[in-house]
A and B are shown apart, each in its own frame.
Chain A
Amino acid sequence: MPGVLLGLVIGTFILFVLDRGKGISAMLMAKRYLVEMLFILPPILVLLGLFESWVPKTWVEKAMGPGSGARGAAVSVLVGTAAMGPLYAAFPVGLALLKKGASVFNLCVFLCAWASIKIPMILFEVKFLGAEFAILRLALTIPSIIIISGLLKTFRMNITGIQRS
């Protein structure tokens, strides 16, 4: 982490020396993303805390656990689709689901669905790329998500993130 920070500081410095305008626009861009994040993360984190202490583990286990089958996958797609926000906001949500007993398969379905299936996003796609393009892409994406998650499950992907702490 300190290495990354140092790299960014040096990179930013060089950018400012070479092209002040570009440096300023880079910082403005970063600021825009930061503001977006500060608006969306606090309520999500508070909701996840409440979810962690109020929702019984058995509910999530039953809906999205290892034995939940096709219905579990459907629930995961719906949970991922219903939410909004950038992909990094999905990570803590996925962690909370995992801690409550969701399977790795359903975690992957949830993350991919959050990333790629969003109603407002599909409307944008229809408008700018055409309905044919958008619907065909969606129709190919959904089975892809299921296959990717199935492969992850077959590889017995053990999760080793901060969920341990």
Chain B
Amino acid sequence: MFTEALWILAAGWLAFSFLKNREKTKNALGFSWKLFRGMALPVLLTVWAIGLLLAFLTPQVIARTIGPESGAWGVLAAAVLGSVVLIPAFIAFPLAGAILNQGASISAVAAFVTTLVMVGILTAPLEAKFFGWRFTLWRNGLSFVFALAIAFMMGRIL
């Protein structure tokens, strides 16, 4: 539904722009095209890599890594796993819920969920293409550290 709204908004604004000012519209589409050319190949490679990776990191493997028998290293393993995989919320949260119900620690599940959304190793090359490696490494690195902190605090509070 959100995607449809985006298409309608883009089409509406584009039509308005075209009627109002041809020159500006041409520049606008030129900018869009430049962005697209910059992203197309890296995005394609990222998607490919995600497909390959997820063939190995199945929900069963994730559950085993984060699960109750994972021990003290479980939280760190969960954070690393969350940084590497890229799965949509409607799969990630039911999976995390199931792992929690199996007896995994609050900290491990919190670490997994937090790095899953905030840290992206697979998308880092693309992020670096836009904002440079320095920014990308610091943003992801700090997010990883803070995800661990959030996880430990949640383990203590809940």
Chain A interfacial positions (CB closer than 8 Å to B):
1, 4-5, 8, 11-12, 15, 22-23, 25-31, 33-34, 37, 39-50, 52-54, 84-88, 91-92, 94-95, 98, 104, 107-108, 111-112, 115-116, 118, 120-121, 124-125, 127-129, 132-133, 136-137, 140-141, 144, 147-148, 151-152, 155, 157-163, 165
| Additional A-B contacts beyond A4-B45, A86-B88 (16; CB < 8 A) | A1-B42, A1-B45, A4-B125, A43-B11, A50-B17, A54-B28, A94-B131, A115-B120, A127-B93, A129-B109, A140-B150, A140-B154, A160-B132, A160-B135, A161-B131, A162-B38
CB distance from A151 to the nearest CB of B (A): 6
Q: Across the interface, do A161 and B9 meet the contact criterion of CB distance under 8 Å? A: no
- With beta carbons under 8 angstroms apart, the residue of A22, A53, A125 that contacts B27 is A53
Most buried by B among A22, A43, A120: A43
CB distance from B152 to the nearest CB of A (A): 10
* Binary contact readout B74-99 vs A (1 if CB under 8 angstroms, 0 otherwise): 00000000000010111001101100
Q: Across the interface, do B158 and A48 meet the contact criterion of CB distance under 8 Å? A: no
- Interface size counted on chain B using CB atoms at 8 A: 79
A148 cross-chain contacts in B, Cβ below 8 A: 139, 142-143, 146
Q: Across the interface, do A37 and B3 meet the contact criterion of CB distance under 8 Å? A: no
B17 cross-chain contacts in A, Cβ below 8 A: 50, 53-54
Question: Is B32's CB within 8 Å of the partner chain A?
Answer: yes
Tell me whether A133 and B154 are in contact in the complex, defined as CB-CB below 8 angstroms, given that A12-B52, A112-B118, A116-B118 are known contacts: yes
B106 cross-chain contacts in A, Cβ below 8 A: 133
Question: Is B19's CB within 8 Å of the partner chain A?
Answer: no
> In the complex the two chains form, what is the Cα distance from A3 to B51 in whole Å?
18
> In the complex the two chains form, what is the Cα distance from A39 to B131 in whole Å?
24
Q: Across the interface, do B52 and A158 meet the contact criterion of CB distance under 8 Å? A: no
For chain B, what secondary structure do more than half of its interface residues adopt (helix, strand, loop), or is it mixed?
helix
Q: Across the interface, do B51 and A26 meet the contact criterion of CB distance under 8 Å? A: yes
Q: Across the interface, do A49 and B31 meet the contact criterion of CB distance under 8 Å? A: yes
- With beta carbons under 8 angstroms apart, the residue of B49, B51, B130 that contacts A163 is B130
B3 cross-chain contacts in A, Cβ below 8 A: 39-40, 43, 85
Question: Is B73's CB within 8 Å of the partner chain A?
Answer: no
Tell me whether A159 and B28 are in contact in the complex, defined as CB-CB below 8 angstroms, given that A4-B45, A87-B123 are known contacts: no
A-B CB proximity, top 8 nearest: A30-B51, A128-B97, A49-B32, A160-B132, A49-B28, A26-B55, A43-B10, A43-B6
B157 cross-chain contacts in A, Cβ below 8 A: 136
Most buried by B among A15, A42, A127, A140: A140
Tell me whether A129 and B35 are in contact in the complex, defined as CB-CB below 8 angstroms, given that A88-B126, A121-B89 are known contacts: no
Q: Across the interface, do B97 and A40 meet the contact criterion of CB distance under 8 Å? A: no
